[in-house]
Amino acid sequence: MSDLHSDDLEFGLDTFGDVPEDDSGRLVSHAAAIRQVVDEAALADDLGVDVFALGEHHRPEYSVSSPETVLAGIATRTARIRLASGVTVLSSDDPVRVFQRFATVDALSRGRAEVILGRGSFTESFPLFGYDLADYDVLFEEKLDLFVRLLDEKPVTWSGTMRPPLREADVFPKTESGRLRTWVGVGGSPQSVIRTARHGLPLMLAIIGGRPERFAPYLDLYRRAAAQFGTTAHPVGMHSPGFVADTDDEAKRIFWPHYRVIRDRIGALRGWPPIRREEFDAEVEHGSLYVGSPDTVARRIARTVRDVGVGRFDLIYTAGSQPVSARLRAVELFGAKVIPMVRDLLAG
- The pLDDT tens digits of the residues spanning 262-289 come to 999 888 888 899 999 999 999 999 999 9
Rounded distance between C-alpha atoms, residue 238 and residue 230, angstroms = 23
Long-range contacts of 341-344 (CB under 8 A, 24+ apart): 341/294, 341/295, 341/298, 341/299, 341/302, 342/6, 342/9, 342/11, 342/298, 342/301, 342/302, 342/305, 342/313, 343/6, 343/7, 343/9
For the chain, what is the mean pLDDT? Answer: 96
Determine how β-strand 290-292 pairs with β-strand 113-118.
unpaired
The set of residues, in sequence order, having a beta carbon less than 8 Å from that of 220 and lying 6+ positions away, is none
What is the per-residue pLDDT across 44-101, written as a single tens digit (0 to 9) for each? 999 999 999 999 999 999 999 999 999 999 999 999 999 999 999 999 999 999 999 9
The set of residues, in sequence order, having a beta carbon less than 8 Å from that of 227 and lying 6+ positions away, is 233
What is the per-residue pLDDT across 229-257, written as a single tens digit (0 to 9) for each? 999 999 999 999 999 999 999 999 999 99
Exposure on the CB side of residue 236, measured as CA atoms within 13 A: 30
The set of residues, in sequence order, having a beta carbon less than 8 Å from that of 246 and lying 6+ positions away, is 293, 329, 333
What is the per-residue pLDDT across 83-95, written as a single tens digit (0 to 9) for each? 999 999 999 999 9
Rounded distance between C-alpha atoms, residue 286 and residue 256, angstroms = 16
Q: Across residues 165-186, what is the average pLDDT?
A: 98
pLDDT of residue 211: 96
Q: Yes or no: is domain 6-347 CATH 3.20.20.30?
A: yes
Rounded distance between C-alpha atoms, residue 7 and residue 343, angstroms = 7
Backbone angles phi, psi at 115, to 5 degrees: -125, 130
Is residue 275 within 8 Å of 240, Cβ to Cβ? no
Please say if the pLDDT value at position 17 is more than 50: yes
Residue type (1 letter), 7: D
Please say if the pLDDT value at position 141 is more than 90: yes
pLDDT of residue 4: 60
Please say if the pLDDT value at position 21 is more than 80: yes
Domain ranges of the chain: 6-347
pTM exceeds 0.85? yes
Q: How confident is the model at residue 3 (pLDDT cuts 50, 70, 90)?
A: low
CB atoms near residue 161 (< 10 Å): 8
Q: How confident is the model at residue 122 (pLDDT cuts 50, 70, 90)?
A: confident
Please say if the pLDDT value at position 1 is more than 60: no
